[in-house]
Amino acid sequence: MPAMAPFSPLVCVVGFHHARGPEVESWFGVEDGIDPATENEWPLLPFMALSDGAHASTEDFSYFTLRHEAKDDVPATSLFGISCTRQLDSNELINRPAEVTRSTVQKAVVVISDSPHHFGQVREKLSIITTAWFSQRDFTDTDILQKFQESLAKSAKEHDDERDQYFGLSLREMIHEFKHQTLVLFKCCLLQPKMLFFGSHCERLCMMQFSLISLIPGLIRNLQDCADPKFNAYEEHLVMPTSLRTSERSSLLAYMGLPLQIFGTGSLFGPYTPLQQLDMLADHGTKSYIVGSTNSLLLQQKDRYSDILINLDEHTINISSSSLRNSLALSTPDRRFIDFLTATVNDTWDEKNPSRPNTHGYSGSEEFIRLQFEEYLLALLASAKYRVYMQEHKGDDNAILTDYDGDPSSEFNSDWIEAWMRTENYRIFNKITDSHLFDISDAKHPFSGGLSIEDVQRRLAQQVSEMHLDERIQASREVLGKGLAVGQKKVSSAFNNLWADIETMREAQRKRSEEQKAAAAENGTLPAGTKFPKTPDLSQAQASVQAASSRAGAYISSWGSWASEKRKSAWGKPTSPTTPTASPPLHAAEDVRIAAALAPAPEDEKSAPTTAQAVSRDSTTTASPTA
């Protein structure tokens, strides 16, 4: 591919006007009187820089793509933007302009570059510069922004090395959060459907997409066609490799057809895509894309704008197409592969520093995960080539290699392989690669093999873990404990209120009795028949309860004596069929007498039967149990 003239990074400021909405206020790195937004037809640049919902955060970042029009000998290509949005209270401004009518001023500092591979460093510098500029509280002083643009231009010339510089969401975090769905999303990218990412946090939304496409080796540096579905410069200038140096990783990857160009003709990449850009998504020429949005209005039209919706807020993936759902089903070796990575990440997880293993070793690191996916992809490409080779030599037993048993590509899911072979990136790959790639890389799944007991056990353990039983049981215990505590408190409160009411009643009766006595003493006479209300005697009530308990015990004891005698005399001997066994029926009269025995005696009764008398009476009753 011919070398293009270097693009000097640009810096601009986007503000929100209370009447006109988002607009570009100033440019840095261009000649006076030149407006790049007008020359390149970037009417949506302000909306891309100020994302929906950015006002809810102290600081937020947005990543987007722009089309750079052809100029002189430079063909049209894609540019990449990153913006840092902050806000400031209007009352804190030193020089408050007349057009500032709102209580808050919101602005974004934007950097536009020709490649996103160094955005990890740019992001840190941009955050510092934007914070410092807002700290001045005077937006007319832009000297710090001018120097920032000059430093970016100088750095782009001096440090444009070939070393890959990855940025985005940590792969460890992505696998820890999405588990086996990480491999589903990776394979989905290669099928080139319409992928829509949704999330309320713009930077996280964009980082997820960049992390995903970075798993395709070399793609970050070859995104020149991603801003417009009409671009196809990568394929037009692509040359088939004729040599291979296995000792050089870059030579090996190029010979194997990498990167797989998923953003060619008919494809679009928009990490953050505003609603104003929906027309391009719905255009007939747009066949596939990977885009992100923070506006929930898109969720209402997800079937129109997406084949697969990834909701980062709810951690859900919704596949609307049944054929795509079948293609994205993971095979047993696929599950074994991603389960291995998930277990490795979880075993080395560090909450304080998620992007780094707690062992500080290689296993589970970012580079470890990236190379595992690279090995997976190389095996996939070799297996696909061997599948084509088998189809071309069908019926020729001499052409079939004994190293492979059947079709090794089936271990990647045959439905997925067939769907991938219909994509644009496969067409380009197949056109510029050798037919015998399986001689270079082993055409075999890294975790090949049938379903085993270990797979079933691991799958069950993972499903049980995903159910979070421990957390649910703990939550149930907490709810039950709280319920018991509340119930105990209510019962205790009810008893306390009851005793308080009793005490209040007793006190009122006592006072009334004393008042009547005092009144009688003053008059010196007492009307005949005057009775003072008695103060409730709790000791007498307790005695009555004890007497009732004693009578009940005596009755039960006499009943037990009668049953014992019958057991010795009649029940212990064989009974004649004609002689009915005696049974102790309780007649109505007995029920009345028993109830009377158990009832407490009235207070005004001059003499109550003693416990001995109750026992004697009950014994007499039970002596003749039959009528």
Cis peptide before 625 (omega within 30 of 0): no
Mean pLDDT of the chain: 83
pLDDT mean over 523-535:
54
CB–CB of 426/420 below 8 Å? yes
Given this model, what pLDDT does residue 471 score?
A: 56
CB–CB of 51/63 below 8 Å? no
CB–CB of 223/66 below 8 Å? no
Given this model, what pLDDT does residue 115 score?
A: 92
Q: What are the helix (H) ranges across 71-142?
A: 119-135
3-class state of residue 322 by DSSP: helix
Q: What CA–CA distance (Å, rounded) separates 116 from 226?
A: 12
pLDDT of 331 higher than 60: yes
Domains contained in the chain, CATH given:
10-158 (3.30.450), 171-467 (3.40.50.11500), 471-511 (no CATH)
Given this model, what pLDDT does residue 463 score?
A: 64
Structure tokens at 23: 């607009």
pLDDT of 528 higher than 80: no
Q: What CA–CA distance (Å, rounded) separates 583 from 284?
A: 95
Q: Which of 306, 414, 168, 462 is nearest to 316 (CA)?
A: 306
Given this model, what pLDDT does residue 482 score?
A: 77
pLDDT of 296 higher than 80: yes
pLDDT in tens, 418-443: 999 999 999 999 999 999 999 999 99
When pLDDT is cut at 50, 70 and 90, the band that residue 517 belongs to is confident
pLDDT of 620 higher than 60: no
Given this model, what pLDDT does residue 550 score?
A: 66
Q: Which residue has the higher pLDDT, 395 or 418?
A: 418
Q: Which residue has the higher pLDDT, 31 or 525?
A: 31
pLDDT mean over 448-468:
67
What percent of the chain lies above the pLDDT cut of 70? Answer: 78
pLDDT of 579 higher than 50: no
Burial (Cβ within 10 Å: 0-12, 13-18, ≥19) of residue 93? middle
Given this model, what pLDDT does residue 509 score?
A: 83
Q: What CA–CA distance (Å, rounded) separates 109 from 88?
A: 14
pLDDT of 413 higher than 70: yes
pLDDT of 619 higher than 50: no
For 118-122, the CB contacts below 8 A with 24+ separation are 118/156, 118/159, 118/165, 119/63, 119/80, 119/82, 119/167, 120/165, 120/166, 120/167, 121/165, 122/82, 122/152
Euclidean distance between the first and final Cα of the chain, in Å? 118
Residue 191: partners with Cβ closer than 8 Å, 6 or more residues away:
324, 327, 328, 416, 419, 420, 423
pLDDT mean over 227-249:
93
Q: Which residue has the higher pLDDT, 584 or 135?
A: 135
CB–CB of 226/263 below 8 Å? yes
Instruction: List phi, psi (to 5°) of 34.
Output: -100, 130
Q: What CA–CA distance (Å, rounded) separates 371 from 363?
A: 11
Residue 619: partners with Cβ closer than 8 Å, 6 or more residues away:
558, 561
Residue 218: partners with Cβ closer than 8 Å, 6 or more residues away:
164, 250, 253, 254, 258, 259
CB–CB of 193/323 below 8 Å? no
pLDDT mean over 136-163:
85
Q: What CA–CA distance (Å, rounded) separates 465 from 462?
A: 5
Q: What CA–CA distance (Å, rounded) separates 25 from 489?
A: 65
Whole-angstrom CA distances from 165 to 125, 256, 423, 591, 593 are: 16, 22, 28, 96, 99
pLDDT in tens, 178-231: 999 999 999 999 999 999 999 999 999 999 999 999 999 999 999 999 999 999
* Locus of tokens 């109750």: 614
- Helix orientation angle between 366-392 and 332-347, rounded to the nearest 10 degrees: 170
Given this model, what pLDDT does residue 604 score?
A: 45
